[in-house]
Chain A
Amino acid sequence: MTPTAAARRTVTLNEVGLNCDVRISSINGPACDRLRDLGFCEQMQLRKLSNGRNLICTVCGAKMAISRELAEQVLVSPVR
């Protein structure tokens, strides 16, 4: 797959469907340090469990609730 194709497949965490396993490609935004502290690091695998005002996902074995604004800063790609 070319880098362009890979970039096209990258979406924000908000856009991921429920119960989908994805891998974090990058964290972009003002809260990136805080997100990394909470375990949202590049290459980590996560599963989105619920949508809504705040969404729930499991990352590094922990269940985290984060706001949609934060989820917008997490770019993910499907797990191959």
Chain B
Amino acid sequence: MSESPLTIALVGNPNSGKSTLFNALTGKNQRVGNYAGVTVEVKSGETYTPHGQKLHVLDLPGCYSLRAGSKDEQVALDALTGKFEKSAKPDLVVCVVDSSNLERHLQLALQIIEMDLPCVLALNMVDLAEKTGLRLDPSKLSEELGIPVVPMQANAGKGIIELKQALRLPFPPPSDAPWLAHGDKEKTEAQRREFITSLCELAARRPDSQSRTFSDKLDGFFLHPIFGWVSFLAIMFLIFWAIFSFASIPMDFIDGAMGDFGGWVESLMPDGDFRSLLVDGVIAGVGGVLVFLPQIILLFLFIGLLESSGYMARAAFLMDGVMAKAGLSGKAFLPLFSSYACAIPGIMATRTIDSAKERLTTIFVAPWMSCSARLPVYFLIIPLLLHESEGTWKQALILFAIYALGTLTAFLVARILRGKLGADKTVNHFMLELPPYRKPQWSYILRHVIDRALAFVKKAGTIILGLSILLWALATYPKADSQDPGEILARSAMGRIGQYIEPVVKPLGFDGRTGTAILTTFAAREVLVSSLGVIFSVRETDDDAENRGLIREKIQAATWPDGRPLFTPLSLVSLLVFFIYALQCLPTTAVVAREAGSWKWAAGQFVFMTGFAYLASLLVFQGGKLLGF
């Protein structure tokens, strides 16, 4: 019988390089960044000792101490004490410390030694420490602490072999903690601090004078009261502009390729239901969503760059004053900004927020930060509002306005909700580490972007494919005797569903077909594009084989039964507003229920956001009509 592998846990302060080391040890591709709080849950993997013994590796969320001030710190403490999801206490702790900041990082290392756990100290980022003129003496550190100390630079793969040597069996015994005053907590803390001060004087001496570093010079600009804001807004706008302009080339290519592929399949097969399923259902549905892949890749690339460079923490610092107006702190900025990519990691990142009530509020409004799944919908609708001759910068401006609308509403609701929830029992103040600027870790950014792109393609190949086939079947059966496409659709199951939905969505400016398409988006909002593609291609199957991928043209050509165009600028704005506000993502609702610890909170959020979306859309359409649009 084989024994279960021994467990080692990677522990350390936030942004000390635990996830980078975890990836290096296990060969995994865990998300890494250059700000505190990238890892908020326990990640596990496997590695081997130099003698081939398998080890179970846990990557714990960063924590400053074992006091468990926030949810992610509580998770780390539970994992160390064997209370986390029935797992036992780790057999060895690798305490990862930033060598350039030993006075602070050793506080946690010493607390772990006090827990009587075998410990190895990974002295990470020695390159940065040496650059600041710090004189490190790893042998002295090891001698004084009584544990193995391994100097390393995990992001360059340096010191990994030496660390693995230190993980040989049998593991080193737990060290004594000479600073420990048994039973007297305050005295222990004071003696621990004294021990660290004298240890750093011995083994990590700082230069007497502090010179202005490159990061200090950059901060002089990026955190300047005026230039800082100008650069922040410029960076945000550049991201939106680049997403529109750079992505158009690969998008046109995918669009053309999908159209050609649909035409080729159509030319090969005889007319019939199966050809219709493949061309109108599968290719039109999946292709319509896949075409937005380049823009999603670009969004994740830019967010990865901001995280990896260290700018994200500066943005949080700048935004603290703005967030305070919404009843939140700068710490809520990072989860909310991450939600622009996807609300799920954003909601999980709220674990770094100390205040429980601020955390709940942030979770509640995070889905209003327009996520990447909304991009296909926006990119479908925005060009319909503009003439072809108008430049991409106008499209970028509309996109910017859409994001601003979602964000401002989120702030407004957060302020009201924060007021209703009342003050916390303990007051939490803003404190944030500003890490040094670093060159982006391209390998991790690219691997992360590729993972997200593959997840998007997988979703297109599963949920969106399934819904496309279902929609095609609903729009095709039961069949009518007539050859008139309008008659066929009216008799189909889709037509009948549409008749029921139409009275609900007509006040928003939509017909039953659009209402049916919206209904399908409650599983995943980007399905709208393929749903509209499938629904509207049914009406026009005869003459537009060449335009198979161009759903936009079909939408423009769609009319009400009396011949009026279905989509006017006003109804398109109404549709945009509905998608800015509606919560149409089942996985997000599931994550909210888990993170908030309440299904009621998740259900309340879903009902509130969907109701808000309906009312906002109603207000836009009816208000617009009254104003003569």
Q: Which residues of A contact B (CB under 8 A)?
A: 21, 30-31, 33-39, 41-44, 47, 49-50, 52-54, 56, 58-67, 69-70
Q: Which residues of B contact A (CB under 8 A)?
A: 64-65, 67, 69, 98, 100-104, 107, 129, 132, 134, 189, 193, 196-197, 206, 210, 215-216, 219, 223, 225, 317, 320-321, 324, 330, 426-427, 429-436
Smallest CB separation, A59 vs chain B (Å): 8
In the complex where A56-B434, A60-B103, A70-B431 touch, is A37 in contact with B320 (Cβ < 8 A)? no
Smallest CB separation, B179 vs chain A (Å): 14
* Contact partners of B317 in chain A: CB under 8 A: 54, 56, 65
* Contact partners of B132 in chain A: CB under 8 A: 61
Q: Are A61 and B206 in contact (CB under 8 A)?
A: yes
In the complex where A31-B429, A54-B317, A62-B433 touch, is A41 in contact with B193 (Cβ < 8 A)? yes
Smallest CB separation, B110 vs chain A (Å): 12
Q: Which of B223, B321, B427, B429 has the most CB of A within 10 A?
A: B429
Q: Are A34 and B431 in contact (CB under 8 A)?
A: yes
Q: Are B100 and A61 in contact (CB under 8 A)?
A: yes
Smallest CB separation, B76 vs chain A (Å): 13
Q: Roughly how many angstroms separate A64 CA and B436 CA in the complex, as a whole number?
A: 11
Smallest CB separation, A12 vs chain B (Å): 14
Q: Are B431 and A38 in contact (CB under 8 A)?
A: yes
Q: Are B433 and A58 in contact (CB under 8 A)?
A: no
In the complex where A37-B65, A60-B103, A61-B206 touch, is A49 in contact with B431 (Cβ < 8 A)? no
Q: Which of B98, B103, B215 has the most CB of A within 10 A?
A: B103
- Interface majority SS (helix, strand, loop, mixed), chain A: mixed
Among A43, A50, A62, point to the contact of B101 (Cβ < 8 A): A62
Q: A34-B69, A64-B431, A64-B432 are in contact. List 13 more A-B contacts (CB 8 A).
A: A34-B431, A37-B67, A39-B101, A41-B197, A43-B197, A49-B219, A53-B321, A54-B430, A61-B134, A65-B430, A65-B433, A66-B429, A66-B432
Smallest CB separation, B518 vs chain A (Å): 43
Q: Roughly how many angstroms separate A36 CA and B67 CA in the complex, as a whole number?
A: 12
Q: Are A38 and B193 in contact (CB under 8 A)?
A: no
* Contact partners of B134 in chain A: CB under 8 A: 61
* Contact partners of A63 in chain B: CB under 8 A: 215, 219, 433-436
Among B193, B321, B330, B431, point to the contact of A42 (Cβ < 8 A): B193
Q: Are A38 and B104 in contact (CB under 8 A)?
A: yes
* Contact partners of A37 in chain B: CB under 8 A: 64-65, 67, 69, 104, 107
Q: Are A65 and B431 in contact (CB under 8 A)?
A: yes
